Amino acid sequence: MDGLIWSGAAVSLLGLLGLVMSIIRVQRARKAGLSDDELRLAVQKVLPLNLGSLFLSVIGLMMVIVGIFLG
């Protein structure tokens, strides 16, 4: 069960890295001084990365919890 815990932690960290990347991209777009429409378009482009990263984080944490319960 240690493998499940450690792989879940790795998946969760990968999701966290994606969340940080999406935050950085939105911050760069905000600092670029874009118009409202351009900023909205930039945020819409980052949204799939954000949602996918959140999904990975949740799945990784679920793997860790299942590994702890089974171990």
Q: Let me know if 33 is exposed, middle or buried by CB neighbors in 10 A (0-12, 13-18, 19+).
A: exposed
Of the pLDDT bands very low, low, confident and very high (cuts 50, 70, 90), residue 71 is confident
Query: When comparing pLDDT for 33 and 17, which is higher?
Result: 17
57 three-class SS: helix
pLDDT at 67: 96
List, for residues 19-50, the tens digit of each pLDDT value: 999 999 999 999 998 899 999 999 999 999 99
List, for residues 52-67, the tens digit of each pLDDT value: 999 999 999 999 999 9
Claim: this prediction has a pTM higher than 0.85: yes
Report CA-CA distances (Å) from 27 to 9, 13, 18, 21: 27, 21, 14, 10
Proportion of the chain in helix, strand, coil states, percent, rounded to 5: 90, 0, 10
